Protein backbone atom coordinates (compact mmCIF):
# COMPACT_ATOMS: atom_id res chain seq x y z
CA UNK A 1 0.00 0.00 0.00
CA UNK A 2 2.85 2.33 0.85
CA UNK A 3 4.14 2.03 -2.70
CA UNK A 4 0.95 3.37 -4.13
CA UNK A 5 0.76 6.16 -1.56
CA UNK A 6 4.20 7.17 -2.76
CA UNK A 7 3.00 7.20 -6.33
CA UNK A 8 0.11 9.35 -5.19
CA UNK A 9 2.45 11.67 -3.32
CA UNK A 10 4.89 12.16 -6.16
CA UNK A 11 2.20 12.65 -8.78
CA UNK A 12 0.44 15.07 -6.43
CA UNK A 13 3.62 17.09 -5.90
CA UNK A 14 4.28 17.10 -9.63
CA UNK A 15 0.78 18.41 -10.24
CA UNK A 16 1.20 21.23 -7.74
CA UNK A 17 4.07 22.62 -9.77
CA UNK A 18 1.90 23.85 -12.60
CA UNK A 19 0.78 27.18 -11.14
CA UNK A 20 0.19 29.07 -14.36
CA UNK A 21 -2.01 26.29 -15.68
CA UNK A 22 -4.06 26.51 -12.50
CA UNK A 23 -4.51 30.27 -12.85
CA UNK A 24 -5.56 29.93 -16.46
CA UNK A 25 -7.90 27.14 -15.40
CA UNK A 26 -9.55 29.29 -12.74
CA UNK A 27 -10.15 32.08 -15.23
CA UNK A 28 -11.67 29.68 -17.73
CA UNK A 29 -13.87 28.10 -15.12
CA UNK A 30 -15.26 31.45 -14.04
CA UNK A 31 -16.07 32.48 -17.58
CA UNK A 32 -17.69 29.13 -18.20
CA UNK A 33 -19.65 29.23 -14.97
CA UNK A 34 -21.11 32.69 -15.65
CA UNK A 35 -22.00 31.70 -19.17
CA UNK A 36 -23.80 28.56 -18.08
CA UNK A 37 -25.73 30.30 -15.33
CA UNK A 38 -26.89 32.98 -17.76
CA UNK A 39 -28.12 30.38 -20.23
CA UNK A 40 -29.89 28.46 -17.47
CA UNK A 41 -31.45 31.66 -16.18
CA UNK A 42 -32.90 32.37 -19.60
CA UNK A 43 -34.42 28.88 -19.65
CA UNK A 44 -35.78 29.31 -16.18
CA UNK A 45 -37.40 32.66 -16.87
CA UNK A 46 -39.09 31.37 -20.00
CA UNK A 47 -41.13 28.81 -18.07
CA UNK A 48 -40.29 28.00 -14.42
CA UNK A 49 -43.05 25.38 -14.48
CA UNK A 50 -41.21 22.92 -16.73
CA UNK A 51 -37.76 23.65 -15.32
CA UNK A 52 -36.72 20.31 -13.74
CA UNK A 53 -34.55 21.61 -10.86
CA UNK A 54 -34.81 24.59 -8.54
CA UNK A 55 -32.77 27.48 -9.82
CA UNK A 56 -30.75 27.55 -6.63
CA UNK A 57 -29.82 23.89 -7.15
CA UNK A 58 -28.72 24.61 -10.72
CA UNK A 59 -26.44 27.42 -9.61
CA UNK A 60 -24.77 25.26 -6.92
CA UNK A 61 -24.48 22.46 -9.46
CA UNK A 62 -22.67 24.70 -11.93
CA UNK A 63 -20.25 26.26 -9.44
CA UNK A 64 -19.40 22.98 -7.77
CA UNK A 65 -18.86 21.48 -11.17
CA UNK A 66 -16.47 24.28 -12.11
CA UNK A 67 -14.65 24.13 -8.77
CA UNK A 68 -14.16 20.38 -8.91
CA UNK A 69 -13.78 20.14 -12.65
CA UNK A 70 -10.51 18.28 -12.18
CA UNK A 71 -12.33 15.55 -10.28
CA UNK A 72 -14.90 14.79 -12.90
CA UNK A 73 -13.91 16.26 -16.26
CA UNK A 74 -13.10 13.20 -18.28
CA UNK A 75 -10.37 14.82 -20.29
CA UNK A 76 -8.31 15.56 -17.17
CA UNK A 77 -6.52 12.25 -17.42
CA UNK A 78 -2.89 11.56 -16.72
CA UNK A 79 -1.70 11.70 -20.32
CA UNK A 80 1.85 10.75 -19.38
CA UNK A 81 0.52 7.27 -18.80
CA UNK A 82 -0.91 7.16 -22.32
CA UNK A 83 2.46 8.23 -23.68
CA UNK A 84 4.16 5.54 -21.65
CA UNK A 85 1.86 2.93 -23.08
CA UNK A 86 2.14 4.05 -26.68
CA UNK A 87 5.91 4.58 -26.75
CA UNK A 88 6.77 1.55 -24.66
CA UNK A 89 8.25 3.28 -21.62
CA UNK A 90 5.72 1.29 -19.61
CA UNK A 91 8.38 -1.44 -19.86
CA UNK A 92 10.13 0.15 -16.92
CA UNK A 93 6.98 0.08 -14.82
CA UNK A 94 6.51 -3.57 -15.68
CA UNK A 95 10.01 -4.21 -14.35
CA UNK A 96 8.98 -3.13 -10.88
CA UNK A 97 7.23 -5.04 -8.14
CA UNK A 98 4.00 -3.09 -8.50
CA UNK A 99 0.54 -3.76 -9.86
CA UNK A 100 0.11 -1.70 -12.97
CA UNK A 101 -3.60 -1.16 -12.31
CA UNK A 102 -3.05 0.16 -8.79
CA UNK A 103 -0.16 2.32 -9.93
CA UNK A 104 -2.22 3.91 -12.68
CA UNK A 105 -5.14 4.43 -10.30
CA UNK A 106 -2.92 6.12 -7.71
CA UNK A 107 -1.43 8.40 -10.34
CA UNK A 108 -4.80 9.38 -11.75
CA UNK A 109 -6.30 10.08 -8.34
CA UNK A 110 -3.28 12.22 -7.47
CA UNK A 111 -3.35 14.06 -10.76
CA UNK A 112 -7.00 14.97 -10.35
CA UNK A 113 -6.67 15.86 -6.68
CA UNK A 114 -3.67 18.12 -7.20
CA UNK A 115 -5.45 20.02 -9.93
CA UNK A 116 -8.65 20.29 -7.92
CA UNK A 117 -6.83 21.52 -4.81
CA UNK A 118 -5.25 24.37 -6.74
CA UNK A 119 -8.47 25.41 -8.40
CA UNK A 120 -11.40 24.77 -6.07
CA UNK A 121 -10.85 27.21 -3.20
CA UNK A 122 -10.73 30.48 -5.15
CA UNK A 123 -13.71 29.46 -7.21
CA UNK A 124 -15.84 28.41 -4.22
CA UNK A 125 -14.89 31.50 -2.25
CA UNK A 126 -15.75 33.94 -4.98
CA UNK A 127 -18.89 32.06 -5.95
CA UNK A 128 -20.16 32.30 -2.37
CA UNK A 129 -19.97 36.10 -2.40
CA UNK A 130 -21.25 36.84 -5.87
CA UNK A 131 -24.44 38.89 -6.25
CA UNK A 132 -27.62 37.00 -7.05
CA UNK A 133 -28.51 35.16 -9.23
CA UNK A 134 -24.89 34.04 -9.54
CA UNK A 135 -24.30 33.40 -5.85
CA UNK A 136 -23.73 29.83 -4.70
CA UNK A 137 -25.83 29.10 -1.60
CA UNK A 138 -24.53 27.00 1.33
CA UNK A 139 -25.57 23.32 1.41
CA UNK A 140 -29.09 22.57 2.61
CA UNK A 141 -27.85 20.97 5.83
CA UNK A 142 -24.92 19.42 7.65
CA UNK A 143 -25.99 15.88 6.74
CA UNK A 144 -26.29 16.84 3.10
CA UNK A 145 -22.88 18.43 3.18
CA UNK A 146 -21.24 15.35 4.67
CA UNK A 147 -23.00 13.16 2.14
CA UNK A 148 -21.85 15.52 -0.58
CA UNK A 149 -18.23 14.98 0.48
CA UNK A 150 -18.60 11.20 0.64
CA UNK A 151 -20.39 10.89 -2.67
CA UNK A 152 -17.93 13.25 -4.30
CA UNK A 153 -15.07 10.94 -3.34
CA UNK A 154 -17.10 7.99 -4.58
CA UNK A 155 -17.85 9.84 -7.81
CA UNK A 156 -14.17 10.65 -8.27
CA UNK A 157 -13.32 6.99 -7.77
CA UNK A 158 -15.94 5.86 -10.28
CA UNK A 159 -14.63 8.38 -12.82
CA UNK A 160 -11.06 7.18 -12.37
CA UNK A 161 -12.07 3.50 -12.42
CA UNK A 162 -14.00 4.06 -15.62
CA UNK A 163 -11.08 5.71 -17.29
CA UNK A 164 -8.85 2.87 -16.28
CA UNK A 165 -10.69 0.87 -18.93
CA UNK A 166 -9.48 3.32 -21.56
CA UNK A 167 -5.88 2.91 -20.40
CA UNK A 168 -6.21 -0.84 -20.56
CA UNK A 169 -7.66 -0.65 -24.07
CA UNK A 170 -4.76 1.59 -25.05
CA UNK A 171 -2.47 -1.37 -24.48
CA UNK A 172 -4.10 -3.02 -27.48
CA UNK A 173 -4.41 -0.10 -29.88
CA UNK A 174 -1.45 1.63 -31.44
CA UNK A 175 -2.65 5.14 -30.61
CA UNK A 176 -4.96 5.97 -27.70
CA UNK A 177 -6.21 9.16 -29.43
CA UNK A 178 -9.38 7.70 -30.91
CA UNK A 179 -10.41 5.91 -27.75
CA UNK A 180 -9.88 9.03 -25.72
CA UNK A 181 -12.02 11.21 -27.95
CA UNK A 182 -14.89 8.72 -28.09
CA UNK A 183 -14.88 8.05 -24.36
CA UNK A 184 -14.44 11.68 -23.39
CA UNK A 185 -17.38 12.99 -25.38
CA UNK A 186 -19.55 10.05 -24.41
CA UNK A 187 -18.87 10.33 -20.70
CA UNK A 188 -19.01 14.12 -20.67
CA UNK A 189 -22.49 14.07 -22.15
CA UNK A 190 -23.96 11.11 -20.28
CA UNK A 191 -22.60 12.01 -16.85
CA UNK A 192 -24.20 15.43 -16.71
CA UNK A 193 -21.05 17.35 -17.68
CA UNK A 194 -22.77 19.34 -20.42
CA UNK A 195 -26.22 19.72 -18.84
CA UNK A 196 -27.38 18.24 -15.53
CA UNK A 197 -29.11 14.89 -15.99
CA UNK A 198 -32.61 16.09 -14.90
CA UNK A 199 -32.73 18.07 -18.13
CA UNK A 200 -32.82 14.88 -20.18
CA UNK A 201 -36.25 13.59 -21.27
CA UNK A 202 -37.91 11.31 -18.74
CA UNK A 203 -37.52 7.92 -20.49
CA UNK A 204 -33.87 8.60 -21.34
CA UNK A 205 -33.20 9.79 -17.82
CA UNK A 206 -34.57 6.57 -16.33
CA UNK A 207 -32.00 4.56 -18.28
CA UNK A 208 -29.19 7.03 -17.75
CA UNK A 209 -29.60 6.96 -13.99
CA UNK A 210 -28.68 3.29 -13.92
CA UNK A 211 -25.51 3.67 -15.97
CA UNK A 212 -22.09 4.20 -14.38
CA UNK A 213 -21.96 7.71 -15.86
CA UNK A 214 -24.68 8.88 -13.48
CA UNK A 215 -22.55 7.71 -10.54
CA UNK A 216 -19.85 10.27 -11.27
CA UNK A 217 -20.59 13.99 -10.79
CA UNK A 218 -24.38 13.71 -10.97
CA UNK A 219 -24.83 12.35 -7.43
CA UNK A 220 -22.67 14.68 -5.29
CA UNK A 221 -23.50 17.87 -7.17
CA UNK A 222 -27.23 17.26 -6.73
CA UNK A 223 -27.10 15.99 -3.15
CA UNK A 224 -25.47 19.26 -2.08
CA UNK A 225 -28.57 21.28 -2.84
CA UNK A 226 -31.07 18.59 -1.88
CA UNK A 227 -32.01 17.81 -5.48
CA UNK A 228 -31.47 14.13 -4.71
CA UNK A 229 -32.84 13.16 -1.31
CA UNK A 230 -34.54 10.38 0.62
CA UNK A 231 -35.02 7.04 -1.08
CA UNK A 232 -33.61 8.29 -4.36
CA UNK A 233 -30.42 9.25 -2.58
CA UNK A 234 -29.98 5.84 -0.97
CA UNK A 235 -30.41 4.23 -4.37
CA UNK A 236 -27.92 6.63 -5.98
CA UNK A 237 -25.24 5.97 -3.37
CA UNK A 238 -25.84 2.22 -3.64
CA UNK A 239 -25.37 2.43 -7.40
CA UNK A 240 -22.15 4.39 -6.92
CA UNK A 241 -20.73 1.65 -4.72
CA UNK A 242 -21.92 -1.03 -7.12
CA UNK A 243 -20.34 0.62 -10.16
CA UNK A 244 -17.11 1.32 -8.34
CA UNK A 245 -16.71 -2.33 -7.36
CA UNK A 246 -17.75 -3.60 -10.79
CA UNK A 247 -15.44 -1.26 -12.68
CA UNK A 248 -12.46 -2.03 -10.46
CA UNK A 249 -12.96 -5.79 -10.73
CA UNK A 250 -13.34 -5.75 -14.51
CA UNK A 251 -10.59 -3.18 -14.99
CA UNK A 252 -7.95 -4.93 -12.93
CA UNK A 253 -8.76 -8.25 -14.60
CA UNK A 254 -8.42 -6.78 -18.07
CA UNK A 255 -5.27 -4.99 -17.04
CA UNK A 256 -3.63 -8.22 -15.97
CA UNK A 257 -4.53 -9.75 -19.32
CA UNK A 258 -3.19 -6.74 -21.17
CA UNK A 259 0.12 -6.84 -19.30
CA UNK A 260 0.71 -10.37 -20.52
CA UNK A 261 -0.38 -9.96 -24.09
CA UNK A 262 1.08 -6.58 -24.77
CA UNK A 263 3.86 -6.22 -27.27
CA UNK A 264 6.01 -3.39 -26.08
CA UNK A 265 6.47 -0.83 -28.77
CA UNK A 266 9.70 0.75 -29.81
CA UNK A 267 12.44 -1.83 -29.41
CA UNK B 1 21.49 -18.88 -12.24
CA UNK B 2 19.78 -18.19 -15.54
CA UNK B 3 18.68 -20.91 -17.92
CA UNK B 4 17.03 -20.41 -21.27
CA UNK B 5 16.10 -23.51 -23.20
CA UNK B 6 14.75 -23.52 -26.76
CA UNK B 7 13.09 -20.16 -26.33
CA UNK B 8 11.16 -18.89 -29.35
CA UNK B 9 9.38 -15.58 -29.85
CA UNK B 10 7.86 -14.16 -32.98
CA UNK B 11 6.07 -10.92 -33.80
CA UNK B 12 3.63 -10.09 -36.55
CA UNK B 13 4.53 -6.90 -38.33
CA UNK B 14 2.43 -5.02 -40.91
CA UNK B 15 4.53 -4.01 -43.88
CA UNK B 16 4.02 -1.96 -46.99
CA UNK B 17 6.00 -0.06 -49.58
CA UNK B 18 6.22 3.70 -49.71
CA UNK B 19 3.68 5.87 -51.47
CA UNK B 20 0.05 6.91 -51.62
CA UNK B 21 -1.09 4.00 -53.77
CA UNK B 22 0.48 1.49 -51.46
CA UNK B 23 -1.06 3.17 -48.44
CA UNK B 24 -4.53 2.94 -50.01
CA UNK B 25 -3.99 -0.66 -50.97
CA UNK B 26 -3.06 -1.51 -47.42
CA UNK B 27 -6.44 -0.21 -46.29
CA UNK B 28 -8.02 -3.27 -47.84
CA UNK B 29 -5.34 -5.87 -47.82
CA UNK B 30 -2.63 -5.75 -45.29
CA UNK B 31 0.53 -7.74 -45.63
CA UNK B 32 1.83 -9.18 -42.46
CA UNK B 33 5.20 -10.67 -42.00
CA UNK B 34 6.10 -12.89 -39.10
CA UNK B 35 9.42 -11.88 -37.62
CA UNK B 36 11.15 -14.58 -35.68
CA UNK B 37 12.85 -12.54 -33.02
CA UNK B 38 14.17 -15.60 -31.20
CA UNK B 39 14.59 -19.13 -32.52
CA UNK B 40 15.49 -21.87 -30.09
CA UNK B 41 17.69 -19.69 -27.95
CA UNK B 42 19.44 -21.67 -25.22
CA UNK B 43 22.12 -20.69 -22.75
CA UNK B 44 23.02 -20.92 -19.09
CA UNK B 45 24.57 -18.17 -17.01
CA UNK B 46 25.87 -18.84 -13.52
CA UNK B 47 25.79 -16.52 -10.54
CA UNK B 48 28.30 -13.72 -10.59
CA UNK B 49 29.06 -13.94 -14.29
CA UNK B 50 29.33 -10.92 -16.54
CA UNK B 51 28.10 -11.70 -20.01
CA UNK B 52 28.21 -9.54 -23.09
CA UNK B 53 25.24 -10.17 -25.31
CA UNK B 54 26.03 -8.89 -28.76
CA UNK B 55 24.56 -8.96 -32.22
CA UNK B 56 23.57 -6.59 -35.02
CA UNK B 57 20.45 -4.39 -34.87
CA UNK B 58 17.26 -6.41 -34.65
CA UNK B 59 19.05 -9.60 -33.70
CA UNK B 60 16.81 -10.30 -30.71
CA UNK B 61 18.89 -8.87 -27.89
CA UNK B 62 16.19 -6.68 -26.38
CA UNK B 63 13.59 -9.43 -26.72
CA UNK B 64 15.81 -11.70 -24.66
CA UNK B 65 16.24 -9.05 -22.00
CA UNK B 66 12.49 -8.47 -21.91
CA UNK B 67 11.79 -12.16 -21.50
CA UNK B 68 14.34 -12.43 -18.71
CA UNK B 69 12.78 -9.40 -17.03
CA UNK B 70 9.37 -11.01 -17.09
CA UNK B 71 7.67 -8.43 -19.27
CA UNK B 72 7.47 -10.53 -22.41
CA UNK B 73 6.12 -14.06 -22.62
CA UNK B 74 7.93 -16.37 -25.03
CA UNK B 75 5.93 -18.45 -27.52
CA UNK B 76 7.66 -21.63 -26.42
CA UNK B 77 10.64 -22.84 -24.45
CA UNK B 78 11.71 -22.80 -20.83
CA UNK B 79 13.09 -19.87 -18.89
CA UNK B 80 14.32 -20.11 -15.32
CA UNK B 81 15.94 -17.31 -13.36
CA UNK B 82 17.05 -18.32 -9.86
CA UNK B 83 14.33 -20.98 -9.94
CA UNK B 84 11.61 -18.56 -11.01
CA UNK B 85 9.75 -18.41 -14.30
CA UNK B 86 9.97 -14.65 -14.92
CA UNK B 87 6.67 -14.11 -16.75
CA UNK B 88 4.62 -16.31 -14.43
CA UNK B 89 4.97 -14.32 -11.26
CA UNK B 90 6.17 -11.00 -12.56
CA UNK B 91 5.96 -9.05 -9.32
CA UNK B 92 7.93 -11.55 -7.26
CA UNK B 93 10.54 -11.87 -9.98
CA UNK B 94 11.21 -8.23 -10.70
CA UNK B 95 11.83 -7.38 -7.04
CA UNK B 96 15.15 -9.22 -7.43
CA UNK B 97 16.37 -7.71 -10.66
CA UNK B 98 17.56 -4.37 -11.93
CA UNK B 99 17.07 -3.30 -15.52
CA UNK B 100 18.42 -0.42 -17.56
CA UNK B 101 16.88 0.21 -20.95
CA UNK B 102 19.31 2.59 -22.59
CA UNK B 103 16.81 4.14 -24.94
CA UNK B 104 14.03 4.64 -22.40
CA UNK B 105 13.59 6.75 -19.33
CA UNK B 106 12.37 5.76 -15.90
CA UNK B 107 12.88 9.11 -14.19
CA UNK B 108 9.97 11.43 -13.64
CA UNK B 109 10.33 14.19 -16.16
CA UNK B 110 9.22 17.29 -14.26
CA UNK B 111 10.58 16.67 -10.77
CA UNK B 112 14.12 16.46 -9.37
CA UNK B 113 15.82 13.09 -9.83
CA UNK B 114 15.95 12.55 -6.08
CA UNK B 115 12.13 12.43 -6.00
CA UNK B 116 12.18 9.52 -8.44
CA UNK B 117 14.72 7.79 -6.20
CA UNK B 118 12.56 8.26 -3.12
CA UNK B 119 9.68 6.68 -4.99
CA UNK B 120 11.86 3.70 -5.93
CA UNK B 121 12.81 3.34 -2.30
CA UNK B 122 9.14 2.80 -1.44
CA UNK B 123 8.42 0.64 -4.48
CA UNK B 124 11.15 -1.84 -3.57
CA UNK B 125 10.66 -1.34 0.19
CA UNK B 126 14.38 -0.64 0.56
CA UNK B 127 15.39 -0.28 4.24
CA UNK B 128 16.47 3.27 5.01
CA UNK B 129 20.01 2.38 5.90
CA UNK B 130 20.57 0.35 2.78
CA UNK B 131 19.03 3.11 0.67
CA UNK B 132 21.25 5.78 2.19
CA UNK B 133 24.36 3.67 1.74
CA UNK B 134 23.57 2.79 -1.86
CA UNK B 135 22.66 6.33 -2.74
CA UNK B 136 25.89 7.62 -1.26
CA UNK B 137 27.96 5.01 -3.05
CA UNK B 138 26.23 5.65 -6.36
CA UNK B 139 26.47 9.40 -5.98
CA UNK B 140 30.20 9.23 -5.51
CA UNK B 141 30.92 6.64 -8.18
CA UNK B 142 28.73 8.15 -10.87
CA UNK B 143 29.37 11.72 -9.81
CA UNK B 144 25.72 12.57 -9.27
CA UNK B 145 25.82 15.08 -6.45
CA UNK B 146 25.17 18.02 -8.77
CA UNK B 147 22.52 16.22 -10.75
CA UNK B 148 20.06 14.65 -8.37
CA UNK B 149 18.44 17.90 -7.32
CA UNK B 150 17.78 18.89 -10.93
CA UNK B 151 14.58 17.96 -12.76
CA UNK B 152 15.19 15.14 -15.23
CA UNK B 153 14.00 17.26 -18.15
CA UNK B 154 16.93 19.62 -17.70
CA UNK B 155 19.63 16.96 -17.76
CA UNK B 156 21.63 16.12 -20.85
CA UNK B 157 21.38 12.59 -22.24
CA UNK B 158 24.61 11.45 -20.63
CA UNK B 159 23.79 13.01 -17.29
CA UNK B 160 20.38 11.42 -17.38
CA UNK B 161 21.81 8.01 -18.26
CA UNK B 162 24.04 8.13 -15.19
CA UNK B 163 20.99 8.90 -13.06
CA UNK B 164 19.05 6.12 -14.79
CA UNK B 165 21.73 3.56 -14.04
CA UNK B 166 21.82 4.60 -10.41
CA UNK B 167 18.03 4.31 -10.25
CA UNK B 168 18.19 0.69 -11.35
CA UNK B 169 20.71 -0.20 -8.65
CA UNK B 170 19.24 1.45 -5.57
CA UNK B 171 17.65 -1.79 -4.39
CA UNK B 172 20.91 -3.82 -4.74
CA UNK B 173 19.57 -6.30 -7.30
CA UNK B 174 21.31 -9.66 -7.59
CA UNK B 175 20.78 -9.62 -11.30
CA UNK B 176 21.40 -6.72 -13.57
CA UNK B 177 20.19 -6.49 -17.15
CA UNK B 178 21.72 -3.64 -19.05
CA UNK B 179 20.27 -2.94 -22.47
CA UNK B 180 22.72 -0.53 -24.10
CA UNK B 181 23.61 1.37 -20.93
CA UNK B 182 26.34 3.53 -22.43
CA UNK B 183 24.29 5.33 -25.09
CA UNK B 184 25.10 9.01 -25.11
CA UNK B 185 27.77 8.93 -22.43
CA UNK B 186 30.93 10.99 -22.71
CA UNK B 187 34.29 9.29 -22.35
CA UNK B 188 34.60 10.06 -18.66
CA UNK B 189 31.11 8.87 -17.82
CA UNK B 190 31.56 5.76 -19.94
CA UNK B 191 34.62 4.78 -17.96
CA UNK B 192 32.87 5.62 -14.73
CA UNK B 193 29.90 3.45 -15.63
CA UNK B 194 32.13 0.56 -16.66
CA UNK B 195 34.16 0.79 -13.46
CA UNK B 196 31.00 0.97 -11.54
CA UNK B 197 29.46 -2.13 -13.10
CA UNK B 198 32.69 -4.01 -12.55
CA UNK B 199 32.74 -2.99 -8.93
CA UNK B 200 29.14 -4.09 -8.41
CA UNK B 201 30.11 -7.47 -9.79
CA UNK B 202 33.23 -7.80 -7.65
CA UNK B 203 31.82 -6.44 -4.42
CA UNK B 204 28.29 -7.81 -4.47
CA UNK B 205 28.62 -10.75 -6.86
CA UNK B 206 25.97 -9.21 -9.12
CA UNK B 207 25.28 -11.19 -12.26
CA UNK B 208 25.36 -8.85 -15.23
CA UNK B 209 24.00 -9.29 -18.72
CA UNK B 210 24.96 -6.48 -20.99
CA UNK B 211 23.86 -5.74 -24.52
CA UNK B 212 25.73 -3.06 -26.36
CA UNK B 213 27.11 -1.97 -29.69
CA UNK B 214 30.09 -0.44 -27.99
CA UNK B 215 32.70 -3.16 -28.20
CA UNK B 216 34.94 -1.40 -25.72
CA UNK B 217 32.22 -1.98 -23.16
CA UNK B 218 32.41 -5.67 -23.86
CA UNK B 219 36.17 -5.69 -23.83
CA UNK B 220 36.27 -3.90 -20.50
CA UNK B 221 33.56 -5.84 -18.79
CA UNK B 222 32.77 -9.31 -19.94
CA UNK B 223 34.84 -12.40 -20.22
CA UNK B 224 32.05 -14.30 -21.85
CA UNK B 225 30.31 -13.32 -25.04
CA UNK B 226 27.10 -14.61 -26.51
CA UNK B 227 26.58 -13.69 -30.14
CA UNK B 228 23.06 -13.64 -31.48
CA UNK B 229 21.97 -13.05 -35.07
CA UNK B 230 18.57 -13.46 -36.72
CA UNK B 231 17.23 -14.76 -33.44
CA UNK B 232 19.69 -17.60 -33.07
CA UNK B 233 22.63 -18.04 -30.74
CA UNK B 234 25.58 -18.26 -33.10
CA UNK B 235 28.45 -18.32 -30.70
CA UNK B 236 28.98 -18.64 -26.99
CA UNK B 237 32.57 -18.19 -25.88
CA UNK B 238 35.23 -15.87 -24.58
CA UNK B 239 36.69 -12.75 -26.07
CA UNK B 240 39.96 -14.55 -26.68
CA UNK B 241 38.18 -17.19 -28.74
CA UNK B 242 37.22 -14.69 -31.41
CA UNK B 243 40.14 -12.35 -31.22
CA UNK B 244 42.93 -12.94 -33.64
CA UNK B 245 46.31 -11.37 -33.00
CA UNK B 246 46.55 -7.63 -33.22
CA UNK B 247 43.06 -6.85 -34.45
CA UNK B 248 40.98 -4.23 -32.72
CA UNK B 249 37.81 -5.41 -31.09
CA UNK B 250 35.60 -3.60 -33.60
CA UNK B 251 37.32 -5.26 -36.55
CA UNK B 252 37.03 -8.60 -34.82
CA UNK B 253 33.31 -8.20 -34.39
CA UNK B 254 32.75 -7.00 -37.95
CA UNK B 255 34.61 -10.06 -39.16
CA UNK B 256 32.55 -12.20 -36.85
CA UNK B 257 29.29 -10.77 -38.18
CA UNK B 258 30.54 -11.31 -41.73
CA UNK B 259 31.52 -14.88 -41.13
CA UNK B 260 28.02 -15.66 -39.90
CA UNK B 261 26.45 -13.55 -42.67
CA UNK B 262 24.38 -11.44 -40.31
State whether B104 and A263 contact (CB < 8 Å).
no
Res B244: pLDDT:
65
Phi, psi dihedrals of residue B107, rounded to the nearest 5°: -80, 145
Nearest Cβ partner of B122 from A6, A259, A267? A6
Length of chain A counted residue by residue: 267
Res B124: pLDDT:
94
Res A31 pLDDT > 70: yes
Nearest Cβ partner of A89 from B104, B115, B123? B104
| B248 within some domain | yes
- Give me the tens of pLDDT residue by residue for chain B, a chain 262 residues long: 999 999 999 888 877 888 888 888 878 888 888 888 899 999 999 999 999 998 888 788 888 999 999 888 899 999 999 999 998 888 899 999 999 988 888 999 889 999 999 999 999 999 999 999 999 988 988 889 989 999 999 998 888 988 999 999 999 899 999 988 888 788 888 888 888 888 889 988 999 999 988 888 888 888 899 999 888 998 898 877 777 666 777 777 777 788 777 7
User: Could you give the CA distance from residue A110 to residue A105 in angstroms, rounded to a whole number?
Assistant: 8
User: Could you give the CA distance from residue A170 to residue A164 in angstroms, rounded to a whole number?
Assistant: 10
Phi, psi dihedrals of residue A173, rounded to the nearest 5°: -95, 160
Q: Which residues of chain B make contact with A3, given a CB cutoff of 8 A?
A: 122-123, 125
| B220 within some domain | yes
State whether A97 and B91 contact (CB < 8 Å).
yes
* A102 close to B (CB below 8 A): no
Q: Which residues of chain B make contact with A110, given a CB cutoff of 8 A?
A: none
Name the domain count of chain B: 1
What chain B residue is nearest to A91 in terms of C-alpha separation?
B71
Structural domain range at position B91: 2-96+174-259
Q: Which of B72, B127, B209 to mutate to test the interface with A (most CBs of A within 10 A)?
A: B72
Q: Which residues of chain A make contact with B101, given a CB cutoff of 8 A?
A: 91-92
pTM summary value? 0.88
| B121 within some domain | no
pLDDT-based confidence at residue A254 (cuts at 50, 70, 90): very high
What is the distance in angstroms between the Cα of B123 and the nearest Cα belonging to chain A?
Answer: 5
Res A265 pLDDT > 70: no
Res A74: pLDDT:
79
CATH number at residue B210: 3.40.50.300
What chain B residue is nearest to A5 in terms of C-alpha separation?
B122
Q: Going by C-beta distance under 8 Å and a sequence separation of 6 or more, which residues neighbour residue B18?
A: none
Phi, psi dihedrals of residue B115, rounded to the nearest 5°: -65, -40
| B159 within some domain | no
The answer to whether the CB of B126 falls within 8 A of the CB of B171 is yes
Q: Which residues of chain B make contact with A267, given a CB cutoff of 8 A?
A: 62, 103
| B154 within some domain | no
What chain B residue is nearest to A8 in terms of C-alpha separation?
B119
Res B90: pLDDT:
87
Res A200 pLDDT > 90: yes
| B75 within some domain | yes
Res A267 pLDDT > 70: no
Nearest Cβ partner of B122 from A2, A80, A94? A2
Res A263: pLDDT:
54
Q: What pLDDT, in 10s, does the model give residues A117-174?
A: 999 999 999 999 999 888 998 998 999 999 999 999 999 999 999 999 999 988 888 7
Report ipTM (2 d.p.): 0.84
State whether A263 and B97 contact (CB < 8 Å).
no
Q: Which residues of chain B make contact with A5, given a CB cutoff of 8 A?
A: 122
The beta strands (E) that lie in B74-202 are given as 76-81, 97-101, 175-179
What chain A residue is nearest to B90 in terms of C-alpha separation?
A97
What chain B residue is nearest to A103 in terms of C-alpha separation?
B123
> Between these two residues, A76 and A105, which has the higher pLDDT value?
A105
Res B245: pLDDT:
62
State whether A14 and B104 contact (CB < 8 Å).
no
Q: What pLDDT, in 10s, does the model give residues B43-96?
A: 999 999 999 998 888 788 888 999 999 888 899 999 999 999 998 888 899 999
The answer to whether the CB of B100 falls within 8 A of the CB of B142 is no
State whether B122 and A3 contact (CB < 8 Å).
yes
User: Could you give the CA distance from residue B246 to residue B249 in angstroms, rounded to a whole number?
Assistant: 9
Per DSSP, helices labelled H in B205-248 are: 215-221, 239-242
Nearest Cβ partner of A97 from B87, B95, B106? B95
| B237 within some domain | yes
| B44 within some domain | yes
User: Could you give the CA distance from residue A211 to residue A219 in angstroms, rounded to a whole number?
Assistant: 12
**Mean pLDDT for the stretch of residues A27-47:** 92
State whether A91 and B66 contact (CB < 8 Å).
yes
* B95 close to A (CB below 8 A): yes
Res A266: pLDDT:
47
Amino acid sequence: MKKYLSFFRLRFLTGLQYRTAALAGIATQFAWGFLEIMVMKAFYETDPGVYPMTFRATVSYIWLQQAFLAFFAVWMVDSELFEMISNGNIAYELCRPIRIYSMMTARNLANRTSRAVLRCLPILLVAAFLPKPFRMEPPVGIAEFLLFVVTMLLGLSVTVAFFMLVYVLAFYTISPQGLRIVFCSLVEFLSGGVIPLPFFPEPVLRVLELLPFASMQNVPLRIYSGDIAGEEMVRAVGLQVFWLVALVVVGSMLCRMAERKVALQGG
Amino acid sequence: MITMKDVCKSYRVAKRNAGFGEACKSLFRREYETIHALRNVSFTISDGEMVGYIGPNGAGKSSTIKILSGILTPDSGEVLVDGRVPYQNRIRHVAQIGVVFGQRSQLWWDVPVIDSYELLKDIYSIPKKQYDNNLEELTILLNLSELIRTPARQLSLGQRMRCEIAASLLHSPKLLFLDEPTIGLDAVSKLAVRDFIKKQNELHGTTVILTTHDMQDIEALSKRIILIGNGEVLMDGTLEDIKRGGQSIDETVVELYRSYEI
